[in-house]
A = this chain, B = another copy of it.
Amino acid sequence: MFRRILIANRGEIALRIIRACRELNVEAVCVFSEEDRGAEYLDLADRAICIGGPAPRDSYLKSDRLIAAAEVCGADAIHPGYGFLAENAQFAEKCRACNIEFIGPSVEAMQLLGDKANARALAKRIKVPTVPGSDGILEDDNETIRIADRVGFPVIIKAAAGGGGRGMRIVHDKTDLLATVKQAKQEADGAFNSRDVYIERYIDRPRHVEVQVIADTHGSVVHLFERDCTLQRRYQKLVEESPSPAIDARTRADLCACAVKICKAAKYFSAGTVEFLVDAKGRYYFIEVNTRIQVEHPVTEMTTGLDLIKTQIRVAAGKKLDFDQKSVKPRGHAIECRVNAEDPDEKFRPCAGVITKFRPPGGLGVRVDTYGHDGCRISPRYDSLLAKVIVHQPTRPEAIRCMQRCLDEFIIKPVKTTLPLLRRIMAHPDFVEATIDTGFVERTF
């Protein structure tokens, strides 16, 4: 096992990793930027090292400083958390070149799965369903028509250089196809300085369902069932739950089997997430793999009782998984709500300032992962995630009711948060009846 781990992150996930280290009897050294100096979660680390200025590019994204900090304190591993450098294969490579274990998958697996096109090609090769599409840039009109016919309408035209929902156009009918592609190319040229576009089947009102996988370096790959993250706002997840209320047992088994197949094919180890879209008819399509621990990992921890961060660290130290697929028995229903320091009435503008009153909820089956407390300072420079409220109850209706109780109980003053929006979501019949899709929040609130 490692003797000392450098935590190359901040806020709630840094605290989460510190706690895991303590329980493993591994020393935790946490880096911090000048902006985070004095944050209380740093007191729980064995040491804290300032690595740079407030801007992420001057501190949490500065790989040389992180590695220097690990060297200087004698850490034998680095945990990247999520965000920042967590999915940066170059950083992982540099760490290992310096004889510091990067707690995550192999560099090869990160490179293979981190590239969407490669991951899609891999999935197709091993017969995991992907969204039907052009598999590359549209060259000429004849090809475009041929592909669209094969894929089936409606289709979506996407700019190759786009992302986050930008540069997309839906075509419902063959007659509009060529004109729309032409427009899309012009727009892509203007917005991204590249005329490259490709075509995919448009999945109407999809749900986002992902499978948590954990694998060791000895070839054992175990899935920990799925999380449903359909409730998003502009591609940012707000609420996650497990099991998914919208898929049947057979789809669940298929998704989990596909996720394991992809990870085995990529010789994956560590924690990873395989994401799928599921359409209204229950058809599913692989979209991508996240090669890191995710914000919403506690949902799976609650249903399975397994500590994903501790397992991730053990696996990185070369240990075998101490459970197998058969011994993973999910229990009950878990829901997570992300409480962001944002103002829902002001276009979700991040809010900063000092919290004067912070009263997280508590009780049976309630977990709050947060770095918040009375007197805590919220910086406008970083991700606005302030707290994750996770509930675990025997059934989904009980979990929703418990979450409503928790959101009502949670007091954060005077910084504005997404709590009011979350309360409205938990009370909305479409969420309660699980009839939502990924566009629900934008359409409804």
Would you call B40 and A359 a contact (CB within 8 A)?
Answer: yes
Q: Tell yes or no: A164 within 8 A of B by CB.
A: no
> Binary interface profile of A, 359-377, with partner B (CB < 8 Å = 1, else 0)?
1001111111110011100
Contact with A363, one of B359, B365, B367, B398 (Cβ below 8 angstroms): B367
Q: Tell yes or no: A125 within 8 A of B by CB.
A: no
Which B residues are CB-close (under 8 A) to A298?
A: 364
Would you call B367 and A366 a contact (CB within 8 A)?
Answer: yes
Which B residues are CB-close (under 8 A) to A23?
A: 398, 401-402, 405
Contact with A369, one of B332, B363, B368 (Cβ below 8 angstroms): B363
Which B residues are CB-close (under 8 A) to A331?
A: 305, 331
In A342-359, which residues have CB < 8 Å from any B CB?
A: 359
Would you call A409 and B44 a contact (CB within 8 A)?
Answer: yes
Q: Tell yes or no: A420 within 8 A of B by CB.
A: no
* A359 and B332 in contact, given A22-B405, A401-B23 (Cβ under 8 angstroms): no
Closest Cβ neighbor of A366 among chain B residues: B367
Which B residues are CB-close (under 8 A) to A405?
A: 19, 22-23
Q: Tell yes or no: A16 within 8 A of B by CB.
A: yes
Q: Tell yes or no: A301 within 8 A of B by CB.
A: yes
In A295-317, which residues have CB < 8 Å from any B CB?
A: 298, 301-302, 305-307
Distance in angstroms between the alpha carbons of A243 and B320 in the assembled complex:
27
Copies of this polypeptide in the complex:
2
Would you call B307 and A364 a contact (CB within 8 A)?
Answer: yes
Which B residues are CB-close (under 8 A) to A375?
A: 374
Distance in angstroms between the alpha carbons of A398 and B332 in the assembled complex:
22
Would you call A362 and B373 a contact (CB within 8 A)?
Answer: no
Closest Cβ neighbor of A332 among chain B residues: B305
User: For the side of the interface on A, what is the size category?
Assistant: 35 or more
Q: Tell yes or no: A74 within 8 A of B by CB.
A: no
Nearest CB on B from A206, distance (A): 31
Q: Tell yes or no: A394 within 8 A of B by CB.
A: yes
Which B residues are CB-close (under 8 A) to A254?
A: none
Nearest CB on B from A363, distance (A): 4
Nearest CB on B from A402, distance (A): 6
Q: Tell yes or no: A90 within 8 A of B by CB.
A: no
Residue from the set A25, A362, A408 with the largest chain B CB neighbour count within 10 Å: A362
Distance in angstroms between the alpha carbons of A375 and B362 in the assembled complex:
18
Nearest CB on B from A395, distance (A): 10
Closest Cβ neighbor of A394 among chain B residues: B305
Nearest CB on B from A14, distance (A): 13
Which B residues are CB-close (under 8 A) to A301?
A: 364
Would you call A408 and B363 a contact (CB within 8 A)?
Answer: no
Distance in angstroms between the alpha carbons of A373 and B369 in the assembled complex:
17
Would you call B394 and A373 a contact (CB within 8 A)?
Answer: no
Which B residues are CB-close (under 8 A) to A408?
A: 22
Which B residues are CB-close (under 8 A) to A398?
A: 23
Which B residues are CB-close (under 8 A) to A44?
A: 409
Would you call A369 and B362 a contact (CB within 8 A)?
Answer: yes
Given contacts A19-B362, A23-B398, 18 further A-B pairs with CB under 8 A are: A19-B363, A19-B364, A19-B409, A22-B405, A22-B408, A23-B401, A44-B409, A301-B364, A305-B365, A305-B392, A305-B394, A306-B394, A331-B331, A359-B373, A363-B367, A363-B369, A364-B367, A373-B374
Nearest 8 CB-CB pairings of A with B: A374-B374, A22-B405, A19-B363, A301-B364, A23-B405, A23-B401, A307-B364, A23-B402
Please list the residues of chain A having a beta carbon within 8 angstroms of any beta carbon in chain B.
16, 19, 22-23, 25, 40, 44, 298, 301-302, 305-307, 331-332, 359, 362-370, 373-375, 392, 394, 398, 401-402, 405, 408-409
Could you show 25 A-B contacts with beta carbons less than 8 Å apart?
A: A16-B363, A19-B363, A19-B405, A22-B405, A22-B409, A23-B398, A23-B402, A23-B405, A25-B401, A40-B359, A298-B364, A301-B364, A302-B364, A305-B331, A305-B365, A306-B394, A307-B364, A307-B365, A331-B331, A359-B373, A362-B368, A362-B370, A364-B367, A374-B374, A374-B375
